[in-house]
A and B are shown apart, each in its own frame.
Chain A
Amino acid sequence: MDIEYNAEERAFRDEVRAFLRDNLPADVAEKVKQYKRLTPEEMVHWHRVLGEKGWLAMHWPEEYGGPGWSPVQKHIFEEEAAEAGSPRLLPFGINMVAPVIIKFGTQAQKDYYLPRILRTDDWWAQGYSEPGAGSDLASLKTRAERQGDHYIVNGQKTWTTLGQHANMIFCLVRTDPTVKKQEGISFLLIDMNSPGVTVRPLITLDGEREVNEVFFDDVKVPVDNLVGEENKGWTCAKYLLTFERTGIAGVGISKAALAHLKTIARETVVRGTPLIEQPAFAERLAELEVELMAVEMTNLRVVAAAEAGGVPGAESSFLKIMGTEVRQKISDLYREAAGPYALPFIDESEPAVGPEFANVAAPTYFNLRKLSIFGGSNEIQKNIISKAILGL
């Protein structure tokens, strides 16, 4: 039994650290650590840097361009990248549509899309949720009707993250409305520049445009863009749920966030005493530290089990709940640390008032409410655990 990394793992960690030190732009890392908005160019740049290094698609099999890392190596990379302040990778291309194409796609689809994803030629969006299909995803209504070599798509998707920048979207669409709801769904790749596609912003409570709604009005999609068999789209969607989710706890992100919070608590002096030396605040900080340690070690246990050949199943639901809860709690204390200066709601382009960190504190806190809602709400995760682990 050994909780420390072995020599090989340490060497890998050093390699990752050196790479991040040499390649991660300092201004971008600083923005990430301070919860500031990145430009699309900054995001794409980081994807391309990793792509060129061969580290972008860490979960892919080596034959398709994955780096061939072990679960421990993946964990090390994620943790180091997060702690260094790397921009978060957009999962839609690399970790969502690509695994489905690798598993269910035709040779032509693999040859065309996978290299493009590795080069970040396309910006992918996810077309799952609809106004009437959230947790009950299978009740989706967006219709795709076959007409010769094309599908004609009509309907609406929502919560499309960063869809305003996307040129491609993978969608679950209904191809057979006459059968049981899960059995009439197909997985379709749609060019967002096609006539009939309209993207409209949804402004979230923090004032940001992070999500959108996407409307499809008689959109012609070539049948070649169908992944897997027609009416087997639900299989693709379910496959993604079991695909490599040990990073789901976001431990590295939380560690970086907590470290940042500690810095703030040291530097913020209220009534003559730094926050970190005020017992009530220190108590809550220490509570968070304990919680985060618990998530970190639980995550490592799952990683270690994967390393030993186990396949993480519903354990990832535990990690999703624990990881998102602790991230939310950190942002909660971050907001409190700002005190009255959490109130001013001033755009980043304008001069700030109060301490620099304070202006993003409350918006970040509100923005991160999403964590327990997206990716299968935490209640849905509990349903999964009840069924899969507890047998209830």
Chain B
Amino acid sequence: MDFSYSDEQRMLKDMVDRLVADQYTFEARESIRTSEAGFSAEVWQQFAELGLLGVPFSEAAGGFDGGGAELMVVSEGFGRGLVLEPYLSTVVLCGSLIDRLADETRRAELAEGIIGGETRYALASHEPDGGYDPHWVRTTARAEGDGFVLDGHKAVVAHGDSADRLIVIARSSGEIDSAEGLSAFIVEADAAGVHRRGYETIDGHRAAEVTLEAVHVDADALLGEVGGAGDALESALERGVVALCAEAAGAMEIACDLTLDYLKERKQFGVPIGSFQALQHRMVDMRMALEKVRSLTFWAACSLESDPAERRQRIAAAKVMVGKAGRLVAEEAIQLFGGMGMMEESAIAHYAKRIVMIDHYLGDRTWHMAALRETLTDTARAA
């Protein structure tokens, strides 16, 4: 048992932390958030120069071959600064699908575009009536000539508004909620028949509703085999969940720090409000919630390569805890800041929004709880 970072992991952490501290002051983030694109192309380029966009890619794909620990380190750092760039969409989710599904030549070529910062991707997987179920796919893929024709509607596609390319999950066979029969296609965002309605999300990010109407794609748009994207999708989403949990841990840490500073500075009745026991205990509860998220995120991140049952349990547990403990930290932070916690101009409000809304990406507390419940029932039946 050894919980310490390796030298490389420590260097990665220092690099991300420095970058966030330099580039992502609250004022800088506000100007990025309110810009037209909603993220900074310059910051993205910096990620590329520092090698951050290659962290999770395999060496074969020209990457750093980072595992769960590296993913956690980077995402936690981004969480501290509430980083807005589409790292999760492009690198973690789509990067993972490309890495797993594309054949050797294609993989190297596609990965190069991501690692160099030239191409940004968004994952168009979930659908309007499927909630958080990634397998609930009505979007169809029909073979035609040398290629395919795609039709369907994808819901709340994170950073789908600005992505150069989409990876669309479409069904060529199987029941509506089956993992079997799902394929992944790379679709140019400006291809004929692709309609995107972009919008802001309440946590400061961007997303889009994407409709595909008779979108023709070539044969090489297909990643992997027809109907064979299920496992890679699961794996990509698991990485996405770990990244979100780590981001939540980073954001919760800063939310706790800001609140603690405020308790020490803010005076009422002639004394710092942090001298009141009622508030002290609430602050302790926040810190305890943070430690729980850190612990389960760490466990999940170290379990990405574990056997499926263990891996799924730990990842679901971490996301459940983020939903629960994250909400506690966000709500308590706003409460302890009082009126200032309600202000759009306060950094804490933005931390609170991101922390709470992370529950709404890739499965909320209730969704992952159901998975844990099923595990219990399955083991009960097996016993």
Contact = CB atoms under 8 A, between A and B. Distances in A.
Interface of A: 1-6, 9, 72, 262, 265-266, 274, 276-277, 279, 282-283, 285-287, 289-291, 293-298, 300-301, 303-305, 307-308, 318, 321-322, 379, 382-383, 385-386, 389-392
B96 to A, nearest CB: 20
B317 A389 contact: no
B299 interface: yes
Interface stretch (B235-243, B282-290, B341-349, B355-363): B282-290
Given A274-B380, A298-B294, A304-B1, 16 more contacts: A1-B5, A1-B302, A6-B2, A262-B376, A285-B376, A286-B376, A290-B320, A291-B292, A293-B299, A293-B314, A294-B293, A294-B317, A298-B291, A318-B287, A321-B284, A382-B281
A300 B275 contact: no
Contacts of B320: 287, 290
B280 A322 contact: no
Contact of B295 (A276, A286, A294, A390): A294
B69 A1 contact: yes
Contacts of A295: 292
A389 B274 CA distance: 13
Interface in B285-313: 285, 287-288, 291-296, 298-299, 302-303
A286 B372 contact: yes
B264 interface: yes
A274 B292 CA distance: 31
A321 B296 CA distance: 17
B280 A382 contact: yes
Given A282-B377, A289-B317, A390 B283 contact: yes
B369 A286 contact: yes
Nearest to A299: B295
A105 B286 CA distance: 41
Closest 3 CB pairs of A and B: A297-B295, A294-B292, A386-B280
Nearest to B256: A390
B3 interface: yes
A364 B8 CA distance: 50
B377 A382 contact: no
A300 B372 contact: no
A303 B1 CA distance: 10
B340 to A, nearest CB: 18
Given A289-B317, A385-B284, A304 B295 contact: no
B6 to A, nearest CB: 7
B1 A390 contact: no
A82 B282 CA distance: 32
A287 B281 contact: no
- The A interface, classified by DSSP as helix, strand, loop or mixed, is helix
Contacts of A389: 287
B82 interface: no
Interface in B260-279: 260, 263-264, 274-275, 277
B383 interface: yes
A3 to B, nearest CB: 4
Contact of B376 (A3, A282, A294, A391): A282
Interface of B: 1-6, 9, 69, 260, 263-264, 274-275, 277, 280-281, 283-285, 287-288, 291-296, 298-299, 302-303, 314, 317, 320-321, 369, 372-373, 375-377, 380, 383
Contacts of A293: 295-296, 299, 314, 317
A9 B1 contact: yes
Contact of B283 (A291, A294, A392): A392
Contacts of A3: 1, 3, 298-299, 302-303
Contacts of A382: 280-281, 284-285
A249 to B, nearest CB: 11
A285 B369 CA distance: 10
A390 B283 CA distance: 9
Contact of B380 (A6, A277, A307, A383): A277
25 contacts: A1-B2, A1-B4, A3-B1, A3-B303, A72-B1, A262-B380, A289-B317, A293-B317, A294-B292, A294-B321, A297-B296, A298-B291, A300-B295, A301-B3, A304-B1, A305-B3, A308-B4, A322-B291, A383-B277, A383-B280, A389-B287, A390-B260, A390-B283, A390-B287, A392-B263
Contacts of A289: 317, 372, 376
Contact of B377 (A277, A296, A392): A277
Nearest to A286: B372
A2 B1 contact: yes
Contacts of A383: 277, 280
A384 to B, nearest CB: 9
Contacts of A392: 260, 263-264, 274-275, 280, 283
B125 to A, nearest CB: 25
Contact of A300 (B1, B6, B277): B1
B107 to A, nearest CB: 27
